[in-house]
Structure 1
Amino acid sequence: MGAHADTRSDGRAGVRAPAPAGVCPVLLTPFRPDGEVDEDGFVRVVDHLLAVGARSVMFPGFASEVLALSDDEREHLSMVLLERTARREDVTAVVSVPDYATHHAVRRAARLVEAGADAINVLPPHQLAPPVESVLAHLEQLLTAVHPVPVVLQHAPLQTGTALTVPTIRALAERHRNLAAVKVESQPPGRTISALLDSETPIPSIIGHAGQQLPDALDRGAIGVQPGCSFTELYLRVWHQWEAGEPAAARRLHTRMLPYLSSWMQDVNVIVGAEKIVAMRRGLIGSDHCRAPVRELDDGERASVDAFLDEFGAELPEVGP
């Protein structure tokens, strides 16, 4: 699906709106050592991802340190992203709306679509455990406001304790065919992916959580993966090998990555920190600074990043400014 793909659907009947497929990296937010946003670094990351073959990108997410960004920073960087992707007909810009208040979420989503977002990612409200009826009302209003633009529903029960269940999501998707896919971050994700496809109108899945379960997800019919962005080339190789009918080669590469991914993903702060070190060492960003409060990587965790770069360095060349 490109930036200007036809995403029309009947809303309450007909085919489901197309969702961004393939490898869709979640952009990191570069900060200078003083903690200010490094906009030039952000642009460099976006341009690099498009240059190596990513055909969709997402911002902001947990990997973007979204909780550490002000509303103005989040809005500004989203507009920078849309400006960089607008020139590419073959790229889908997915912009996330994690706002808790329905009032803000609906208006932000509509504004982003007006500015050129090709798809919206929505993180359902979860702080203070709102009742499922309120969460559904939030999603219904957002889906209606951006129709027919595709919406990806982020299902991250471990991080959010969301009240949504697969049957609830199925019912919502039947009412709104622009609910194009679910980003599955449940653990394990496989059963959720299969259950979503086992619907009257199948609901595609995009796997998150650094793609730790990517081969199983692909076996079960997942259409995409949303990992971090500092070693996108490796995920693209796995994806292309799988699509080329070489699942054994894809599994071998994924198996090499898995010890690092499973270690870092034990804590969101760790994988964000690891991704930033990799990006800095490659020349994508100038600093690996993460905004406080954060759990700094210890010597063992930093050693694992060194080992990762030793193993994959030849496949992840330096980029430079």
Structure 2
Amino acid sequence: MSNASFWKGVLPAITTPFHADGSVDHAFLAKHAVQLVDAGSTAIVPLGSLGEAATLSFDEKVAIVATLVKAVGDRVPVVPGIAALSTEEAVKLAQAVKAAGAGGLMVLPVYVYTSDWHEAAAHARAVLGATDLPCILYNNPVAYRTDILPAQIAQLAGEFANLQAVKESSGEIRRFAAIKELLGDRLVLLVGMDDAIVEGLAMGAEGWIAGLVNAYPVESVQLFELARDGGYAASAELYNWFLPLLRLDTVPKFVQLIKLVQAKVGLGSETVRAPRLVVEGAERADALAIIDHAIATKKA
């Protein structure tokens, strides 16, 4: 499969909706995915950190992929995150979600265990080698304590033709230039932090695995297109309005906060799975001040 257009555009890291009893709300999940695609999203990325994947069972993950494939799989690819406590489980999940209709995979480091490159590479090779689906390599050293450097990304890209993109979430904008220097256009670069989207596009990224898109799908696609086509000058007004919300994507309670934004704009519930709890007290008041200001100042 060509990487010409598979990863370009806004790829929502879709949240996992829960009923009050903690079970997955598949009806809303399907409805939400349709809303995101209707707004111009080019893929749906479930089972990531924002999707609370660490709290989902293996069977729940496969069922979520099946629901999304049924809802939007004929329009855009469903690209689940592959994260697990063990390499064996990650390989099995990669194979199971392909059988459920996934169109690609996002390959994460293993949960919990902080690794060196020797072990992280072995894990990535096992997952990439277990599938013929096109894959994204996800680098997020802040969250996973494993930093995959540009030269190491290049090494894997040289070994696996199905590695087509990299989601770079180190927060170090110079990484984009370093990857391009080594690989040219071999991999599609994806921005993985909401508050770096305009900067990332300026440095050669072509896709955005986005978080606040769950609450503001139309505005997210508009911001992406303005920044892609006209740079900072064209996108500055919308970016400045959006930035306080986008920064909610890069704090420890980003799941709770993004779901709170969804609830406030009528695109979801703030229900999360323990150990996460909904934000309360001063923390909630501070978040609502940001959200309410954004709602009040959003242009039609």
Q: Could you tell me which residue of structure 2 aligns to residue 289 of structure 1?
A: 271
User: Which residue, out of 121, 134, 157, partners 1:150?
Assistant: 134
1:179 aligns with 2:163: yes
- The separation in 2 between residues aligned to 1:308 and 1:315, in whole angstroms, is 11
Amino acid across the alignment from 2:273: R
Q: Could you tell me which residue of structure 2 aligns to residue 197 of structure 1?
A: 180
Instruction: Decide whether aligned partners of structure 1 residues 244 and 133 sit closer, same or farther in structure 2, where only a CA change above 3 A counts.
Output: closer
Instruction: Decide whether aligned partners of structure 1 residues 83 and 316 sit closer, same or farther in structure 2, where only a CA change above 3 A counts.
Output: farther
Shift of 1:283: 3.0
1:311 aligns with 2:294: yes
Maintained 8 Å contact 1:31/1:37: yes
User: Which residue, out of 178, 189, 200, partners 1:217?
Assistant: 200
Alignment: residue pair count: 296
Q: Could you tell me which residue of structure 1 aligns to residue 260 of structure 2?
A: 277
Instruction: Decide whether aligned partners of structure 1 residues 155 and 298 sit closer, same or farther in structure 2, where only a CA change above 3 A counts.
Output: same
- The separation in 2 between residues aligned to 1:116 and 1:129, in whole angstroms, is 31
Q: Could you tell me which residue of structure 2 aligns to residue 129 of structure 1?
A: 114
Instruction: Decide whether aligned partners of structure 1 residues 264 and 98 sit closer, same or farther in structure 2, where only a CA change above 3 A counts.
Output: closer
User: Which residue, out of 36, 52, 58, partners 1:65?
Assistant: 52
1:166 aligns with 2:150: yes
Gaps of 5+ in 1: 1-6, 9-15
Amino acid across the alignment from 2:165: A
1:22-101 equivalences in 2 (<5 Å): 22-88=9-75, 91-101=76-86
Root-mean-square deviation (Å):
2.4
Q: Could you tell me which residue of structure 2 aligns to residue 3 of structure 1?
A: none
Question: Displaced runs of 4+ in structure 1, greater than 4 A?
Answer: 16-19, 313-317
| Partner SS, residue 64 of structure 1 | coil
**1:196-236 alpha-carbon deviations (Å, 9 max, x no partner):** 11114543311112x21111111100011112222222211
Instruction: Decide whether aligned partners of structure 1 residues 100 and 19 sit closer, same or farther in structure 2, where only a CA change above 3 A counts.
Output: farther
Maintained 8 Å contact 1:99/1:125: yes
Shift of 1:302: 3.1
Maintained 8 Å contact 2:79/2:105: yes
| Partner SS, residue 40 of structure 1 | helix
1:302 aligns with 2:284: yes
Shift of 1:274: 2.2
- The separation in 1 between residues aligned to 2:160 and 2:9, in whole angstroms, is 23
TM-score using structure 2 length: 0.89
Instruction: Decide whether aligned partners of structure 1 residues 242 and 17 sit closer, same or farther in structure 2, where only a CA change above 3 A counts.
Output: closer
**Bigger shift: 25-34 or 248-257?**
248-257
Maintained 8 Å contact 2:202/2:228: no
Structure scoring higher RCO (CA < 8 A, sep ≥ 6) equals 1
**1:279-303 alpha-carbon deviations (Å, 9 max, x no partner):** 2233333x32111112542344434
1:206-245 equivalences in 2 (<5 Å): 206-209=190-193, 211-228=194-211, 229-245=214-230
Overall identity of the aligned pairs, in %: 26
TM-score using structure 1 length: 0.84
User: Which residue, out of 72, 88, 109, partners 2:94?
Assistant: 109
Maintained 8 Å contact 1:231/1:316: no
Q: Could you tell me which residue of structure 2 aligns to residue 12 of structure 1?
A: none
| Partner SS, residue 182 of structure 2 | coil
